[in-house]
Amino acid sequence: MTSPECKTAVYSTVDNVDIALDFTLPSAAGPNHRVPILLWFHGGGLLQGTRKGIWPHLRNAPEKHGLCLVSADYRLAPQTRLPGIMADLVSIMAYLRSPAFSSITGDSVDQSKIIVSGGSAGGWLALLIGSGVGFRACGLQPPEKPLAIAPIYPITDLLNPFWITKQHPVSYYPRIIDRSELEPYLDPHAEVTSFSTLDSPRAKFYHYMDLLLESTGIDPKEFGIAPAIASEEYTIPPMYIVHGSIDDKVPIQQSIDVVNACESRGLPVTFDNIDGADHLFDMDEKYTMDNMYSFIDSVIKG
């Protein structure tokens, strides 16, 4: 399937840092046919990654599913700690609802219909936006909730044993990564960045998620999705969540805990457990993610 033209825009953070996003409109979009927005965040543990790393089903989404696909960068840790990344989430949501974004798309988007998705750490960002968890701990007002969220194999809790128990080596990498290999990226005073190519040495950075909150004084429990939902302090819009059964980078239990918390409160959640699928399974074009897009379509149509 031929993809329509991808264009680049810039949104500004609360501290006036300009960050790029890419957007792609379906060919049928226009002022008389405004289309919903699918905002997608890349993964990489909030330490690495790029808006350019989108998979086939996402590239096909504008024409196949009639969505404006937005793939947005955000600042990366440890040069920007998690509170700064959370501020970027507030900024990107405000920008997508702004006259500026409407104008740059030719008044072709329905700004009342935003669905937020993302893979791995990007799925966590979708959950944070959808639930409002973590923002007040960072001194921020949560953004207005999107119409729905669709996290893909998301991280959901920094206190999961997977993150706090040292693994040497990890199951998915054949050797121990020496700290010296990443020294330039570990310096919190190095140049702030919101873009890391998929073949950069920084792509080995996933093992350092303890850097997200270092020096902030904020307890990691403030960002746990399932406990927050179970506490009844937070709620979510309609949600579709999908995870592979043999994921060895983000355990499927991370998603199951969120699903159980939602179901215990009667919150709207659909869960897909993809048997035999590992992390990043949707990179493969055979995964068309039809269930996710059917969910999105049903929410849009109400």
Given 3-state DSSP classes, what are the helix, strand and coil percentages for the chain, each rounded to the nearest 5? 35, 20, 45
First to last CA, the chain: 28
- 19-52 pLDDT per residue, tens: 999 999 999 999 999 999 999 999 998 999 999 9
User: What does the angle CA 179 – CA 185 – CA 190 come to, to the nearest 5 degrees?
Assistant: 135
What Å distances lie between residue 94 and 16, 221, 263, 281, CA to CA?
14, 26, 30, 31
Q: Is pLDDT at 170 greater than 70 in this prediction?
A: no
What number is the average pLDDT over the span 154-174? 71
Q: What share of the chain in percent tops pLDDT 70?
A: 92
- 246-276 pLDDT per residue, tens: 998 899 999 999 999 999 999 999 999 999 9
Q: Where are the domains of the chain?
A: 6-301
What Å distances lie between residue 123 and 26, 101, 119, 156, 250, CA to CA?
24, 23, 5, 8, 11
Q: Is pLDDT at 6 greater than 80 in this prediction?
A: yes
Q: Quick one: pLDDT at residue 2?
A: 58
Q: Domain 6-301: what homologous superfamily?
A: Alpha/Beta hydrolase fold, catalytic domain (3.40.50.1820)
